Structures are given as C-alpha cells and as structure tokens.
Amino acid sequence: MELSKAYDPKQVEDKIYKLWQESGFFNPDYLPGKRKKSYTIVVPPPNITGVLHMGHALNLTVQDILIRWKRLQGFKTLWLPGTDHAGIATQNVVEKELKKEGLSRFDLGKEKFIERVWQWKEKYGNIILEQFKKMGSSMDWSRTRFTMDEGYTLAVKAAFLHYYEKGLIYRGKRVVNWCPRCQTSLSDLEIEFKEEKGKLWYIRYPIDQKSNIKNQKYVTVATTRPETMLGDMAVAVNPKDERYKNLVGQNVVLPLVNIEIPIIADRLVDLEFGTGAVKVTPAHDLVDADIGFRHKLGIKQVIDERGKITKDAPLPYQGLSVLEAREKIISDLQNLGLLEKVEDYIHQIPKCYRCNTTIELIPSEQWFLKMSAQGGGLAEMAIKAVKSGKIKFYPKNFEKPYLEWLKNVKDWCISRQIWWGHKIPIEGSEDVLDTWFSSALWPFATLGWPSSAKATEGKAQKNDLQNFYPTDVLSTARDILNLWVSRMIFSGMEFMKKIPFSRVYIHPTVLTKEGKRMSKSLGTGIDPILLIDKYGADATRFGIAFQIMGGQDIKFLEDNIMMGKKFCNKVWNASRFVLFQSGQNKIENAKSAFNSKNLTPADKKILKSLEETIKFIDKSFDSFEFGQAAHRVYEFFWHDFCDSYIEISKKEGGKESKNVLAFVLFSSLKILHPFVPFITEEIYQNFPFKDKQKFLMVENWPK
RNA sequence: GGACGACUAGCUCAAUGGUAGAGCAUCGCGUUUACAUCGCGGGGGUUAUAGGUUCGAAUCCUAUGUCGUCCACCA
C-alpha cells in the first residue's frame, strides 16, 4: 500500500475536493444511475458581510451529512448554495470601510455608494463560499444564487406586485422603530433590548384651574423618558383606579408646553406601576399610539429622524438631541417645582441590532404587508402548515414559539430607508425592501420562480421547480425561526401553493465552554477555518457532529475536534492494515468479497455488528440525531472493528477473515463518509475492488 | 413578566422505570503482522436540593435553587 503512516489532511482535502468538483456529481443532473426521487436542501444563505463561524460550520456539517447520506442512498440530491445581500448589515460594514477613508455614504452619493457595495460583494461575498468548500460541502456550485442577482430581483418584484395587487400591501403612517444612525425603520425583530440603568422621574402635571377639584393641585406621572412629554396628548389612568376616578374627563396643563390635555381612562394602564397615572405620547410610544388612536388624541411628533427635537416642540428645546433635551427638561421642571422625585430604575432599552444605537419610536410613512392570523391571511397559512403536520419541527418544542409569534403577529413593515437592497417597485418610492422579504422567497426563487418572468435565465435549470420543490429539509439556527422560517412558509404557500419544506431542523447553538454565546466583539468566538487548518475538515466535522445531542446547545470543546483527528488517524491506519492484507489476498470484488459458508463466530459477530450499526445510523440521521450516529459509528469502528475483530483476525483468523476484513472496511467507509468525506474518499480510491464506483461519494449505501 | 431547556465522574456529555457509561484528564502496565494520534487495566458519581408516585426513580410528579435561550407595550 502507498498510504503513509500518519494521516495528513493537508495532503488530501483540497485534492479530493477538486476531484469531486470535476466529477460533476455535486450536480443532480450528472449523478450516475437511475435516480427518480429527489432530495433537496437549500442552504441558509449567509450574509455577505460575514466569515464562517461555528454556527455555520455546524449547520454545514449537518446538511452535508444528510446530502451525502441521501446521495449514497440513490437520491437525486441537490444542495443549493448562495449568499444573502443582507441590506442593513452590509450597508453598515461598507459604511465602516468608508469611515476609515474619512467618508460617509452621503459624500459618495447613492449611485457611487451602491457601486461600492457591489465591489464589496464581489470581493468578500465569495470568501464564504470558498469556506463552504473547505468544509467539504457537496453543493452544486452551478446553481449558486445571490439574493440580488438578476433573476432573483425579478422574483422579488413579482412577489411584491402580487401582494400589492391582492391588496395585502399598503402604505401608512405608523409609529415605527427608527434607528437614528442607520436612518431607517426597523422591524420588531431587528431590535434588541439591552438592560440599562436609568431613572424614573415623577413629574407633576398641574390640574387645570377651571376644574372643580379640591385638595389636589397635581397629577403626578412617572416616566423614564421625560423628553417625550413635549409631545404628550393626554394623561391616562386605569378606569378601575379609584384614586383618579374623579379626575377622568378633567384637564391638566402640560408643563413647559403650556397646553391643556385631557385625563382619560384606558385599560392598558397598569394600576401598580409608578403612580398609576401615565403620560400619553402617541407619536413616540407604541402603547401610547394605541391609546391615542382609540381616544382620537391626535399626534404631535417632537423627535425627528435624526433623534433631534422638532419644531413642533417649544422653542427652547428645538434642535436639541434627545439626551440634551432630557437634561434641560429635568432642570426646567426642577426650577418650576414640578419634579416630585427621582428613582433609580433598571429597564430594557431598545437598540438597533446592527449598530447598537438606541432606537427611537417615531411616526413615519412606511409600507406594510398584512399578516392576518385569520380569514386565510398569510399568518394563518403559516400556522395551518405546521398545525396540520405538513411541516414538522425538530425538535418539536419549537412549534410553540413559532405558533405563538404568528398568532400575535402585527403587520410586517417591509420598507427600509437605506440604499442597499431591492427597490420597492412602485413609482415615486425610494425605499428598499426589508432584506427578509427577499430571503422569504429563497426556497423557490433560487429554483427559478417565477418562470413566467424569465427568472430561469442563468443559473437555474428549466425544470428545477418541478424537480426540486418542495425541498426536503431546512436546517437553520433558532434565532431566525420567525425572522426567516415563518416567512418562507407563508411565502411558499402563497406563491407555490405548496409548503417550501416538510421538515425544519433547528440545530443546536454553539456556545463557549462556559455556556455563553460566542461573540466576535468579546473575542470568544472560534474560527472553524483555523480548526480545519489545525486538525483537518474531517476532524472538525466529526468533532462537531459528535457533540450534537438532541436539541441541546453545545458547549464547544476543542478536545472533541482533537478526538476527531485521532479517529481519522485510526481509520487511516486500520485501512492501511486491511488493505495490506487484502493486497496479499487479491480480493477483486466487493459483492462477492467472502464466502458466507466458512465464517468463524468472530466473522459473524462483526458482520452483525456492522448491520446493526447501519440500521442505527439510518434511524439516527432520519431523526437528526447526528451525535448518536457519530458515537455509534465511532464505537463500532474503533472498538468492535479495530480493537476486537482486527486483533482476533491476526491471531485466530478464519478462512474468510481477510476477506471479511476488507468487506467490513469497505462498508465502513460508506457509513463514515457522510461524517468524514475526505479521508474515506482517499482510502476508497486506494481500494483494490474492481467493481467499485468512480467515487465513494456515489457508491451504494449498505443495508 | 411569560415560555422552553439544562443541572449525572475533574471537564464535555450518554443512559427517557430495572445493578449509572463514553471521550478527554488522571494512575499503572505494555513497543505482539496498522496506528504511541496506540493497546490492556485501575481509580473516580447518595445523578443540584427537598418531598411524592412505584416492588424499583438519573429517568415520572410537585416545589425550590442556579444557569442559559427565546418571547413580552409595564410608561
């Protein structure tokens, strides 16, 4: 045998990947044999901003295991790669780049800026796809898509117009989450709440002199955001609150602004909190907007898109930033004797998930997609798809948060005031679409939808939609369950009249050993590319798969990757031994490798163990139990095969033992292949059987 | 404030009602036709706590604690 003593992934992996690519077998159209049933996975398209992180590495491992397993089982497998333009995220990284040159996007202007983002996409967008290859991903590169390529853009346009004509898209002025830095609206899912120490200010609103209220000069309200009082339209109390019953219907004078506003009763007011009386600012708070709408209070916007006080506020405050205004208002109130007390208060502050700027709530003209959970609405379709069991979640407990979210979902604000993205296809609108609007079309837009719009030009083959939709499994991270998964589901049902995938696998989150989220900014992340460099892709994959136990989050241990490397070396050396044996024995045929009449008990035992292992792996893969499968194959190969059977065969091998050795190894390569594709392929290429395939990748899965 | 999950050997995890296992770490022995990235063997656990169900509980139930993730309009 020509195999070297220790396995060196660097000598093997790139070489093997190149051979696979040249074979064309990543492409379902060129797979050998009769393959009637298709098996499709579309990869969750990574943002073009990023580099591969452990979450990707895990997800790629999982998907490649499934795809390789099904390919070996004779399915027409398609794993479709691609990337996402990731609107705000990408715009932000390019802006950061510009900042280094002392420029802003406004200095460049819209056209030049977008050009610049495309340059970024060309330069960095492919890096992540190259990293996919490093992981051994058997994706069909001829079908690579980008959420802003030509055909995809047509799909997005068609989808928008479809909703628009159906009356599901409307425009309206609503209080929306607004990032003063990104200068755009954000959906609820794009904000993150962070705990901050703040104050709770108790402010006295003088009761109107004309009111016949005795013994009470003020109503005191508690607020964490005194600056918004400039836009107050009412003071609200709970209708059941006895303390304020006599005040409802009366007026107070809004301090600093000196206008009269009413005291109203509304059930949304919590009796327990603060004083039980709350200032109502319909322009800058969602609950207040709701209250204001019901009581027809009107709206006064006092904070603008840049986070400055508007001209609708009293002169002294105009142009101040929110924080400056807050300071001045507090000191002014203090001078007037209207500040009753101040308490420390810890609360959740909404932050932009991309740039961490504090979110302002401001009224703004936006586009919305109706999300009704009744009457055949989009949310209802997505609910039914899961409730009916057509789409199953693994683990099942993710169904609950999914359904809860959809049940209570508000209309989806789909417009963004940024430059990088799909333009809203309506005359006069400069807005672009929320990046998830295009991502929602991923399972079918990538396969050529809508064929009528000639979107098939280029990558997708003519009949891809018929052949590969619905896809089989969507494997993704849990934090985009609603952001992405639910939206793909209703989009698929709306446009294709069919669910986009039948099974959703929510993969475990990779945490640090301490159980904390891996974070780039904290420096607690681990770069899978470095792991590949150090241990090889096979070892990295095996080490990751080994740790996937149920839906449990993974406290990542590099030791497991080390274990993967040792395991690979074991496979390598066992193969060296067996191939040397069979080389002497001149076995030429896998099918008739041994004569089953002359088997020793040990021969029979290892064959039975192999059979059971195969069954177990099939069952495990089918239920996404990758760790269980990895443990079993490890146990089988290392202990049953190497420690026990090989050692026995050396000392008291039967007539057929050398043949059985070769046969069991041959089968082992197949069942190991989904985990560790490179090393198994390399060994396979050195196997002496004459009736083997060109590549292990397209062998027949053993039974 | 809700929902979900975790808590088992020093570490990371198995074991879903029947005498608690693996890998790593640790200790001892060992170079026999692959592999020292190895082989053989040893030590190490009242399964977070308190109750309950059961012939029998790591496993089921109830509380408590700690940690984690997601959701949420308490100003």
Q: Which nucleotides of B are covered by protein (CB under 7 A)?
A: 3-6, 11-15, 23-24, 32-40, 67-75
The CATH-assigned architecture of domain A27-165+384-511 is: 3-Layer(aba) Sandwich (3.40)
Distance A219 CA to B75 C1' (A): 15
Chain center to CA of A418: 21
**CATH class name, domain A528-698:** mainly alpha
From the Cβ of A566, is strand B under 7 Å away? yes
Distance of CA A501 to the CA centre of its chain: 16
**pLDDT for the residue A518:** 79
What are the pLDDT digits (tens) for A22-69?
Answer: 999 999 999 998 899 999 999 999 988 878 888 899 999 999 999 999
| Structure-token pair, residue A396 | 């099942």
d(C-alpha A108, C-alpha A433), whole Å: 22
Q: Are the C-beta atoms of A40 and A27 separated by less than 8 Å? A: no
A701 residue type, one letter: W
Query: What is the sign, positive or negative, of the torsion defined by CA atoms of A127, A131, A134, A140?
Result: negative
Where b means 16+ CB within 10 Å and e means fewer, A218-231 reads: bbbbbbbbbbbbbb
Positive or negative CA dihedral for A319, A323, A325, A328? Answer: negative
What's the CA gap between A418 and A432, in Å, rounded? 6
Is pLDDT at A440 greater than 60 in this prediction?
yes
pLDDT value, residue A1: 44
Q: How far is the CA of A241 from the C1' of B42 (A)?
A: 73
What's the mean pLDDT in A197-221? Answer: 81
pLDDT of A350 higher than 50: yes
Q: What is the pLDDT of residues A80-116, one digit of tens each?
A: 999 999 888 888 888 888 889 988 888 889 999 999 9
Give the model's confidence band at A392: pLDDT under 50 very low, under 70 low, under 90 confident, else very high. very high
Q: What is the pLDDT of residue A275?
A: 85
| C1' (B29) to CA (A514) span, angstroms | 36
Task: Report pLDDT for A95.
Answer: 84
Q: What six digits make up the tokens of A112? A: 């030049």
Q: In this structure, are residues A362 and A312 in contact, taking their beta carbons and an 8 Å threshold?
A: no
Q: Nearest nucleotide to A511 by CA–C1' distance?
A: B68
A121 close to A94: Cβ distance less than 8 angstroms = no
Kindly report, residue by residue over A114-138, the tens digit of the pLDDT: 999 999 999 888 899 999 999 999 9
Mean pLDDT on A378-399: 90
CB of residue A239 closer than 7 A to nucleic acid strand B? Answer: no
Q: Which residues contact A640 (CB under 8 A, 6 or more apart)?
A: A606, A609, A613
Which residues make up the CATH 3.90.740.10 domain(s) of chain A? 185-352
Please report which helix (H) or strand (E) contains residue A345, including its range: strand A339-352
For the record, the structure tokens of A591 come out as 């099918």
Subset of residues 52-81 in chain A with CB less than 7 angstroms from any atom in strand B: none
CA distance A202 to A208: 19
d(CA A68, CA A77): 8
**Predicted pLDDT at A571:** 96
> Is the per-residue pLDDT at A593 higher than 90?
no
Topology of the domain comprising A185-352: Isoleucyl-tRNA Synthetase; domain 2 (3.90.740)
Determine the average pLDDT of the residues in A455-464: 62
Could you report the predicted ipTM of this complex, rounded to two decimals?
0.94
Nearest-CA neighbor of A10 among A678, A567, A643, A686? A678
pLDDT at A452: 52
CB of A563 lies under 7 Å from some atom of strand B: yes
pLDDT of residue A116: 93
Residue A319's contacts (CB-CB under 8 Å, 6 or more residues apart) are A308, A309
> What are the residues whose beta carbons fall under 8 Å from the beta carbon of A310, sequence distance 6 or more?
A301, A302, A303, A304, A318
Distance A186 CA to B75 C1' (A): 22
Q: What is the dihedral of CA A672, A675, A676, A682, to 10 degrees?
A: 50
User: Using the CB atom, is residue A222 less than 7 Å from strand B?
Assistant: yes
Cα separation, A12 vs A529, whole angstroms: 16
CB A254 within 8 A of CB A205: yes
CB contact at 8 A, A701 and A559: no
Please report the pLDDT score of residue A581 as a whole number: 78
pLDDT at A160: 96
Q: Is A567 exposed, middle or buried (0-12, 13-18, 19+ CB in 10 A)?
A: buried
pLDDT at residue number A617: 94
**Strand B proximal to A240 Cβ, under 7 A:** no
Query: What per-residue string of b and e applies to A619-632 under the rule 16 or more CB within 10 Å gives b?
Result: ebbeebbbbbbbbb
- In this structure, are residues A501 and A79 in contact, taking their beta carbons and an 8 Å threshold? no
3-class secondary structure per residue, A25-84: CCCHHHCCCCCCCEEEEECCCCECCCCCCHHHHHHHHHHHHHHHHHHHCCCEEEEECEEE
Q: Which pLDDT tens digit goes with each residue over A530-560?
A: 999 999 999 999 999 999 998 888 888 899 9
At residue A217, the pLDDT reads 83
> Exposed, middle or buried: residue A51 (CB in 10 Å: 0-12, 13-18, 19+)?
middle
Q: Where are the alpha helices (DSSP H) in A135-270?
A: 150-165
Phi, psi at A181, each rounded to 5°: -85, -50
Asked whether the predicted pLDDT for residue A222 surpasses 50, the reply is yes
The answer to whether the C-beta of A646 is closer than 7 A to strand B is: yes
Which 250-269 positions of A have CB less than 7 A from strand B?
A: 268-269
DSSP secondary structure string for all residues of A494-561: HHTSS-SEEEEEEPPPEE-TTSPBP-TTTT----HHHHHHHH-HHHHHHHHHHT--TT--EE--HHHH
pLDDT of residue A2: 60
Distance A612 CA to B2 C1' (A): 45
| pLDDT tens-place string over residues A662-699 | 999 999 999 999 999 999 999 999 888 888 889 999 99
Q: Is the CB of A560 under 7 A from strand B?
A: yes
Residue A459 has pLDDT above 60, yes or no: no
Position A685 scores a pLDDT of 92
pLDDT bin (cut points 50, 70, 90) of residue A522 is low
Lowest-confidence pick of A160-174, A322-336, A535-549, A591-605: A591-605
Residue found by looking up tokens 């693994």 in the block: A394
In angstroms, the CA A394 to CA A604 distance is 37
Amino acid at A699: E
Q: Which nucleotide is nearest to A286 (CA to C1')?
A: B73
Per-residue pLDDT at A516 exceeds 90: no
Looking at chain A, the domain(s) classified CATH 1.10.730.10 span 528-698
Span CA (A671) to C1' (B12), Å: 25
**pLDDT of the residue at A564:** 94
Average pLDDT, chain A: 88
> What pLDDT was estimated at residue A347?
78
Is any atom of strand B within 7 angstroms of residue A404's beta carbon?
A: yes
Rounded distance in angstroms from the CA atom of residue A54 to the C1' atom of nucleotide B75: 40
Q: Identify the CA nearest to A404 among candidates A318, A491, A482, A329.
A: A482
| pLDDT of res. A374 | 81
What is the Cα A281 distance to its own chain's centre? 35
**C-alpha Rg value of chain A to the nearest Å:** 31
Q: Rounded distance, CA A207 to CA A210, Å?
A: 8
Give the model confidence (pLDDT) of A566-579 as tens digits: 999 999 999 999 98
Instruction: Kindly determine whether the C-beta of residue A652 is less than 7 Å away from any atom of nucleic acid strand B.
Output: no
Name A186's Cβ contacts closer than 8 Å, sequence gap at least 6.
A88, A176, A177, A178, A179, A352, A353, A359, A416
From residues 322-341 of A, list those within 7 angstroms of strand B by Cβ: none
Which amino acid is it at A679? I
A677-685 helix and A558-585 helix, angle to the nearest 10 degrees: 10
Top pLDDT among A345 and A21 is at A21
User: pLDDT-derived band of residue A460, with 50, 70 and 90 as boundaries?
Assistant: low
**Tokens standing for residue A676:** 């560790």
Q: What is the mean pLDDT of residues A432-457?
A: 82
The answer to whether A515 CB sits below 7 Å from nucleic acid chain B is yes
Q: Which residues pair with A290 in a beta bridge?
A: none
Residue A455 predicted with pLDDT over 70: no
Protein residue with the closest CA to the C1' atom of nucleotide B75: A223
